[in-house]
């Protein structure tokens, strides 16, 4: 409830998350004289109050025991002070704000909830009735479920916007500050970091006294409520620690999620293991029948691909002889040019002595990313301690290799592709994605992101790495690769990928292979979308067992996306071939 009231204030622009709390509440924390002596009171932000990272302990009155933002401390009065600040900003009793703005619009009967009077803080502030976020809401299971459904529907109720999508997505994900437990968001717990592998990654929850809680899971389209008087586990030594709260929620929700067999509410999420909720833009992917898949270059795989200035697509193949007429020898890295559309394509192997490599599997250097920008072809190669850049100014006839490598992470880097010759790019940077591993053959828990100015791609010093996305949804970059953060999470499932911009829908489409087994002939993959290169990500399509082998790579060439963004051809390496399958998108 406290997070919901905060969301109203942010949506009304009464506060910003990065605002210093004293700007709105000059006396915050002043009841303990030691706090003023610390010199830290004027550093506390709204964001820190909302995530219990302001540095206060759980005393009465609370004491500042650490520098704000440096770590998490469970503290009831941290949330209570935020309630007082919001009371000052709204200029009225928060109970009335909640009733008028939330409870009445979602149809919560007045006799099914009550915000209790303060138990620890003064009952008024500046002549206004004051509430505590930590003193408790007495509520029925039905009304608590209504709040859960408000979050499940991303802030909309019967066509009326109550909370912004942006706030709900931020509040229900783990904070990027060093929290006291890894699952903590804005008073919500979140499984986005895979803290509890037995439940879906997109599940999040609010936990209350006596093991009462509401769990929201977008990928299963479920809200589950439990009201209780505690549990046996809570009576055990250490059972009342925050990490145990999340474990008890996960134990409960595991039973709920495992009982779900009908997934018709989200037909494109073929498994509850989908790491992100359904796309708000794309409702469904309709694949052409598998009998209409076009296959070329049998015996070759990989196929990173880009749309060049001359109108052709350029791609690279591995462990094969390319397109007919075939190269005389098997290559781990070969180049090809593709002209025309999928039904009438003309493919030509391009022989380039300064590029070609030999060797099977991990013993051979292979391409992982292709890009044409400013009429220059760039290629990321893997399996070379661990990735290396090459470029060609003559459409692949000759290549130059960088005298440096990415030796930490980025074991399978790929480029974000825009339109022809990088037209339609969002800015003057080139973006590079990889799973967070040194080897292309080892899955990781997360994906990482780097960027460099388009005219300085050849300079190792020009690259910077995504460290985090801040409270406003903006990326924070670092030059230190050791400080790299996460752009996408899927525990032990992050692997090879291809990403391109769908200009018609204004969405980034990221194809990601699921590791495990021989995906040439059987396996799964996901397609995820986002409004920006760094997210927030949602799921367009997810399956652990496609009707044909998805191969070890998939990508969507920008050239083969329709102007309205609703049809495309996906290139994949299924059956060890240059495989192409048409798809139609159904928009929300």
Q: Give the tens place of pLDDT for each residue, 322-360.
A: 999 999 999 999 999 999 999 999 999 999 999 999 988
Per-residue pLDDT, 234:
58
Report long-range pairs for 100-109 (Cβ below 8 Å, ≥24 apart).
101/8, 101/162, 102/4, 102/8, 102/147, 102/150, 102/162, 103/143, 105/157, 105/160, 105/162, 106/146, 106/147, 106/149, 106/150, 106/157, 106/162, 107/146, 108/143, 108/146, 108/147, 109/143
As a whole number of angstroms, the distance between CA 220 and CA 231 comes to 26
Are the CB atoms for 334 and 322 separated by under 8 Å?
yes
Residue 125 pLDDT class (50, 70, 90 cuts)? very high
Residue 309 pLDDT class (50, 70, 90 cuts)? very high
Per-residue pLDDT, 224:
95
As a whole number of angstroms, the distance between CA 79 and CA 74 comes to 10
pLDDT per position as a tens digit, 552-571: 999 999 999 999 999 999 99
Are the CB atoms for 271 and 544 separated by under 8 Å?
yes
pLDDT per position as a tens digit, 494-552: 999 999 999 999 999 999 999 988 888 999 999 999 999 999 999 999 999 999 999 99
pLDDT per position as a tens digit, 422-452: 999 999 999 999 999 999 999 999 999 999 9
Per-residue pLDDT, 269:
44
> Who contacts 111 (Cβ-Cβ below 8 Å, separation ≥6)?
none
Per-residue pLDDT, 247:
86
Residue % of the chain over a pLDDT of 70: 96
Phi, psi of 585 (to 5 degrees): -100, 135
Residue 311 pLDDT class (50, 70, 90 cuts)? very high
Per-residue pLDDT, 268:
45
Query: Which helix or strand (DSSP H or E) is residue 378 part of?
Result: strand 376-382
Q: Which of 190-199, 204-213, 348-357 has the lowest mean pLDDT?
A: 190-199
As a whole number of angstroms, the distance between CA 133 and CA 424 comes to 47
Per-residue pLDDT, 121:
92
183-194 average pLDDT score: 88
Strand partners of residue 502: 507
**For residue 536, is the peptide bond before it cis, meaning its omega torsion is within 30 degrees of 0?**
yes
Tell me the H-state helices in 67-185: 76-90, 94-98, 141-152, 165-171
Per-residue pLDDT, 265:
37
**Which among 354, 377, 374, 355 has a CA at the least distance from the CA of 366?**
355
Are the CB atoms for 31 and 1 separated by under 8 Å?
no
Residue % of the chain over a pLDDT of 90: 76
Q: Is the pLDDT of residue 368 over 60?
A: yes
Are the CB atoms for 504 and 561 separated by under 8 Å?
yes
Count the residues in the chain.
588
Classify strands 414-417 and 497-502 as parallel, antiparallel or unpaired.
parallel
- The 10 Å Cβ neighbour count of residue 196 is 19
Residue 267 pLDDT class (50, 70, 90 cuts)? very low
Dihedral Cα 205, 136, 90, 83, nearest 10 deg: -80
Q: Is the pLDDT of residue 264 over 60?
A: no
Map residue 43 onto helix, strand or coil: helix
pTM confidence score: 0.60
Residue 233 pLDDT class (50, 70, 90 cuts)? low
212-233 average pLDDT score: 84
pLDDT per position as a tens digit, 155-185: 999 989 999 999 998 999 988 778 878 888 9
The more confidently predicted of residues 126 and 269 is 126
Residue 262 pLDDT class (50, 70, 90 cuts)? very low
What integer best gives the mean pLDDT of the chain?
A: 92
Per-residue pLDDT, 478:
97
Read off the tokens for 223. Answer: 């809200």
Dihedral Cα 192, 193, 194, 199, nearest 10 deg: -20
pLDDT per position as a tens digit, 33-91: 899 888 899 999 999 999 999 999 998 899 999 999 998 888 999 999 999 999 999 99
Q: Is the pLDDT of residue 270 over 70?
A: no
Query: Which residues in 551-573 are b (16+ Cβ under 10 Å) and which e?
Result: bbbbbbbbbbbeeebbbbbbbbb
């Amino acid at each position: 409830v406290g997070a919901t009231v905060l969301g109203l204030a942010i949506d009304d622009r009464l506060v910003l998350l990065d605002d210093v709390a004293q700007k709105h509440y000059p006396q915050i924390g002043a009841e303990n004289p030691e706090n003023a002596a610390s010199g830290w009171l004027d550093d506390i932000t709204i964001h820190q109050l909302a995530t219990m990272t302001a540095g206060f302990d759980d005393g009465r009155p609370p004491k500042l025991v650490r520098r704000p933002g440096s770590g998490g401390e469970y503290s009831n009065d941290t949330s209570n002070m935020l309630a007082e600040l919001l009371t000052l900003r709204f200029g009225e009793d928060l109970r009335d704000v909640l009733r008028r703005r939330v409870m009445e619009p979602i149809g919560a009967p007045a006799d099914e909830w009550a915000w209790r009077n303060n138990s620890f803080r003064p009952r008024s502030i500046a002549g206004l009735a004051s509430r505590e976020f930590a003193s408790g809401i007495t509520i029925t299971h039905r009304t608590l479920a209504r709040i859960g459904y408000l979050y499940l529907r991303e802030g909309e109720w019967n066509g009326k916007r109550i909370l912004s999508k942006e706030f709900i997505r931020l509040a229900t994900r783990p904070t990027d500050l060093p929290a006291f437990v890894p699952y903590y968001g804005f008073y919500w717990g979140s499984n986005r970091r895979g803290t509890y592998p037995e439940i879906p990654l997109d599940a999040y929850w609010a936990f209350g006294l006596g093991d009462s809680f509401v769990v929201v899971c977008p990928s299963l389209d479920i809200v589950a409520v439990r009201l209780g008087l505690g549990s046996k586990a809570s009576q055990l030594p250490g059972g009342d620690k925050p990490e145990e709260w999340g474990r008890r929620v996960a134990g409960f929700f595991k039973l709920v999620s495992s009982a779900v067999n009908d997934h018709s509410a989200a037909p494109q999420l073929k498994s509850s293991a989908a790491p992100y909720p359904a796309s708000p833009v794309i409702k469904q992917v309709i694949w052409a029948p598998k009998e209409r898949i076009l296959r070329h270059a049998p015996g070759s795989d990989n196929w990173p691909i880009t749309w060049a200035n001359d109108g052709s697509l350029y791609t690279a193949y591995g462990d094969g002889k390319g397109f007919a007429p075939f190269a005389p020898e098997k290559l781990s890295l070969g180049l090809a040019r593709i002209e025309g559309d999928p039904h009438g394509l003309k493919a030509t192997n391009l022989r380039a002595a300064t590029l070609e490599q030999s060797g099977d599997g991990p013993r051979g250097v292979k391409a992982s990313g292709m890009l044409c920008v400013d009429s220059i072809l760039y290629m990321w190669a893997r399996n070379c301690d661990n990735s290396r850049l090459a470029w060609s100014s003559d459409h692949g006839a000759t290549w130059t290799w960088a005298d440096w490598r990415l030796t930490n992470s980025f074991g399978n880097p790929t480029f974000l592709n825009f339109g022809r010759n990088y037209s339609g790019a969002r800015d003057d940077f080139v973006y590079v994605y990889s799973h967070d591993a040194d080897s292309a053959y080892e899955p990781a828990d997360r994906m990482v992101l780097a960027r460099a100015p388009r005219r300085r791609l050849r300079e190792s010093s020009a690259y910077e790495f995504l460290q985090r996305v801040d409270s406003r949804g903006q990326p924070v970059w670092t030059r230190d690769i050791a400080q790299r953060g996460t752009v996408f999470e899927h525990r032990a499932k992050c692997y090879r990928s291809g990403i391109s911009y769908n200009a018609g829908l204004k969405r980034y489409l990221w194809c990601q292979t699921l590791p495990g087994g021989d995906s040439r002939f059987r396996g799964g993959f996901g397609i995820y979308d986002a409004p920006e290169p760094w997210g927030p990500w949602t799921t367009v399509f997810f399956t652990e067992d496609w009707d044909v082998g998805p191969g070890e790579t998939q990508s969507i060439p920008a050239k083969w996306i329709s102007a309205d963004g609703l049809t495309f051809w996906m290139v994949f390496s299924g059956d060890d071939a240059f495989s192409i399958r048409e798809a139609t998108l159904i928009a929300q």
